[in-house]
Amino acid sequence: MLDKKKIKENLEKEKKELMEQLADIGRRDPATGDWEAVPEKQDMPESDQNDMADRFEEFESRSSTTNVLEERLSSVESSLADLDNDSFGKCEVCEKEIEEDRMEANPAAKTCKEHLEG
């Protein structure tokens, strides 16, 4: 039997950590609620094309990380919202209970080990 109280605590902890990580590399658009990467603060003016290329590459990396974190945050928030539903903790594919150790490792899991998402 799933310990939903513990799962909720883990999900809330992860949500807080994700929000902090997102705030470190991006900002939330108040109109859409979406997160977007922001360039790293610069201490000195751009000096040459290599510096500009490095900054662009860093921004692309921040954008990619923002997308991954935002996707995970969405999954965590969805799981928190679904916690009281009868279907929570059941595999979306076969509808069997998701293994307890899987739920401990990933409290936002939507599938059992057999149907592990890619």
* pTM for this model (two decimals): 0.80
Q: Is 34:28 a contact under the CB 8 Å cutoff?
A: yes
| DSSP, res 36 | E
Q: What is the dihedral of CA 77, 80, 82, 85, to 10 degrees?
A: 180
Between 56 and 68, where is the model more confident? 68
Question: Rounded CA gap, 85 and 77, in Å?
Answer: 14
pLDDT band, very low/low/confident/very high, at 16 (cuts 50, 70, 90): very high
pLDDT in the model for residue 55? 79
Using the predicted structure, report yes or no on whether residue 47 has a pLDDT greater than 60. Answer: yes
pLDDT in the model for residue 21? 95
Report pLDDT digits (tens) over 69-93.
Answer: 999 999 999 999 999 888 899 999 9
Q: Is 23:10 a contact under the CB 8 Å cutoff?
A: no
pLDDT in the model for residue 42? 63
Question: Rounded CA gap, 102 and 66, in Å?
Answer: 25
